[in-house]
Structure 1
Amino acid sequence: MSEEILAAVLNEAPGKLALETVRLDAPGPDEVLVDVHYAGLCRSDLHEIEGVWPASCPTVLGHEASGVVREAGDRVTGLRPGDHVVTCLSSYCGTCRFCLAGRLTLCARRGQLRARAAPVLTNAAGRPVHPTAGLGAFATAMVAHQHSLVRIPDTMPLAAASVLGCAVVTGIGAVFRSARVEPGATTAVLGCGGVGIAAIQGAKLAGASQIIAVDTNEARLKDALGFGATATVDASSTDSVEAVRELTGGGVDYSFEAIGFAATVEQSFAMLGPGGTATVLGLVPDSQPLTIRAAELFALEKRLQGAFMGANQFPTDIPRYVRFYEQGRLDLDSMLSAFVGLDELGDGFARMKQGGLTRVIADIRRHA
């Protein structure tokens, strides 16, 4: 049976989120109905709101969330009502050549998983509403494919768990799965938002000898030290490339760009030492072309690579990160900078733009 739920809907872009009553379809055989408790505000959501990235309006944004399973379809395995779960937008089929090779973020059939006979969401006018990434977490409930969810222990706080499925799997995943940072390596992280802070914590877990945080916000740089950074560079007042080169005696072994601008990607590559690897975590708009010196790329054997969602394998990665959290080795609680209600998302994104915050979290059950 379908039901009415509350959702923050983006009807046009650029535009504003509007709290509306929409109809949520019943879950299909491979789908799960989840009551959403918390959802992280990601910069990619803001890009769609502001029209920087194209949005399929009307749409319900939100892809980084935690909640509780209320109903599971006939073919769902491993999930049942009452389970606590985390969402991840990199759903996977499990049968294509990329999935079989363990590269779930490159799944060739992800779009087919989200295809269904009837729209999962419709508004009061009967028009289909697009759930971003097949999720649409800025709503009191969602219907998602079982391969977009992973079960977590009931003892794991759902607020802290909400950042696992995007910021954490992206940041830590880039360190372990993409760059494969080895103990003693030198690292730099450009951008100290949620993804960047996760990358800093990943570098600490990997045993990096130097972890240099680069940002233009003084508060974020101060926070980065608490998460494991060994040094900071204020890019608003100094040449970040030269500063990193000086701190490391010639450049880092690994850099991580967690902002999404061509200029900072170029900086992440330039601050590498010979044989270094720059990993891009931010999605750079097509309108911003990259300029890389070929001599450095070849003669100095530098590498520039992407890591969509940290090249994660979230069904196994997220349980590992939960254990790190339980052991006190991964600080998720301090990443939760501010909480807003479902009807206060506009204020939450405004606070995000002001800077100085790691992650703003929406308490979905709190609304007018």
Structure 2
Amino acid sequence: MSTTVRAAVFLATGAPPEIRDVVLPDPGPGQVRVRMVAAGVCHSDLSLSDGTLAQTWPAVLGHEGAGTVEAVGPGVSGVVPGQQVILNWAPPCRACWFCEQGEPHLCEHALDGTLSPYAALTDGTPVYPGLNTGAFAEATVVPATALVPLPDGVDPAVAAVLGCAALTGWGAVNNAAKLRPGQSALVLGLGGVGLSLLQAARIAGADPLIAVDVSPDKENLARSLGATDYLVADPNTHRSVRGLTGGRGVDHAFEVVGRAEVVRTAWNSARRGGTVTVVGVGSHRDEVSFNALELFHQARTLQGCVYGSSDPARDIPLLAGAVRSGDLRLAAMVTDEIPLEGVPDAFERMRRGRGGRSLVRFGA
């Protein structure tokens, strides 16, 4: 038996997606079929489609999703048909060296599922799941370990963004940077992750909280989510940031773009002894350089942050508490609700730096 669903299929690097039928097998041992409710369009999907990140084609991308369990395979426990769930695109094995060190976000096997096809086109061509999950489809088949139960009190229609944008932004502030109340913070880049990070920094007590983006149109949204100051990016951004922080620079600078020049801006905007956290996914060809003297003299910390240094099973329930209290506003980050056919336009908005999160709504 199998299930045929509509999906946004990417056939080659740089090619726009085509809406096609995809045939999903019934869930095998340890697997679950999830009927999707919504899927966020993340910049990492763009990085996969344009070749910045490796991907085997054809593929169904989309890794930020929420839905309802439709069927479970043999040996599955912990989730049942009818249960609402959030996708975890990097399920940890819980047994490798990194998992045993309490770093499941660095699990050696988290992306093993991307290496094998999970479905097929109607002509039998194998199809691969982008970042394990293949969320740009009416339904998907994933390992049961790639699911987190939807916490009570969270709207399933916007819960998808908890699975990547909100978790990554919240984790960057709390797990990686460990921002303390009263410390100053800078957020460079206000896509879905940047807007989540901005809210997390506000909740953590950042003051001042400076937001920067290439678009002046995002100022009102940034301020409504907690920014005390807003700057439109230019070559003098770091000087403007210093002007807002007594000439010192910020305690914490978060880079959420994935470009060397923005990493350098974050570095130049941090105070001596400050911390720069790189959250954006960049290209291995885009190099950033530092001289030996400044590394010594500035005494700053430069760190990467994968998936918010998070454990979704632990952290998503924590985020849900902030959602229920109204501190974390998921819907405010969604600037465009689209059908599946709107995915190509959502990718173009990301390329142009427009809007926050685009959210695919299935069956709306």
TM-score category, normalised to shorter length: over 0.9
Checking the alignment, whether the CA contact within 8 Å between 1:193 and 1:220 is kept in structure 2 is no
Instruction: Note the 1:1-368 alignment, pairs <5 A.
Output: 1-112=1-112, 119-153=117-151, 155-236=153-234, 239-249=236-246, 250-365=248-363
CA distance in 1, matches of 2:286, 2:265: 14
- Structure 2 SS opposite 1:299: helix
What TM-score do the two structures reach when normalised by structure 2?
A: 0.95
Structure 2: segments with no counterpart, 5+ residues: none
Structure 1 residues 342, 3: CA separation in 2 closer, same or farther (over 3 Å shift)?
A: same
Instruction: Give the Å deviation of 1:52.
Output: 4.0
Structure 1: segments with no counterpart, 5+ residues: none
Q: What are the Cα deviations for residues 27-61 of structure 1, in whole angstroms up to 9, with x where unaligned? A: 12221110011000111212333344443110000
CA distance in 2, matches of 1:77, 1:329: 33
Structure 1 residues 353, 108: CA separation in 2 closer, same or farther (over 3 Å shift)?
A: closer
CA distance in 1, matches of 2:129, 2:273: 42
Instruction: Give the Å deviation of 1:99.
Output: 1.3
Instruction: Give the Å deviation of 1:159.
Output: 2.0
- Structure 1 SS opposite 2:253: strand
Residue type of the alignment partner of 1:309: Y
Checking the alignment, whether the CA contact within 8 Å between 1:33 and 1:142 is kept in structure 2 is yes
CA distance in 2, matches of 1:38, 1:202: 23
Residue type of the alignment partner of 2:167: V
Instruction: Give the Å deviation of 1:64.
Output: 0.3
Residue type of the alignment partner of 2:65: A
Instruction: Give the Å deviation of 1:133.
Output: 1.3
Residue type of the alignment partner of 2:199: Q
- Structure 1 SS opposite 2:157: helix
CA distance in 2, matches of 1:114, 1:136: 10
Instruction: Give the Å deviation of 1:155.
Output: 4.0
Aligned length: 363
Structure 1 residues 352, 218: CA separation in 2 closer, same or farther (over 3 Å shift)?
A: same
CA distance in 1, matches of 2:11, 2:168: 28
- Structure 2 SS opposite 1:162: helix
Structure 1 residues 190, 140: CA separation in 2 closer, same or farther (over 3 Å shift)?
A: same
Residue type of the alignment partner of 2:9: V
Residue type of the alignment partner of 2:164: C
Identity, in percent, stands at 36
CA distance in 2, matches of 1:54, 1:114: 10
Checking the alignment, whether the CA contact within 8 Å between 1:84 and 1:154 is kept in structure 2 is no
Instruction: Give the Å deviation of 1:202.
Output: 1.0
Residue type of the alignment partner of 1:78: G
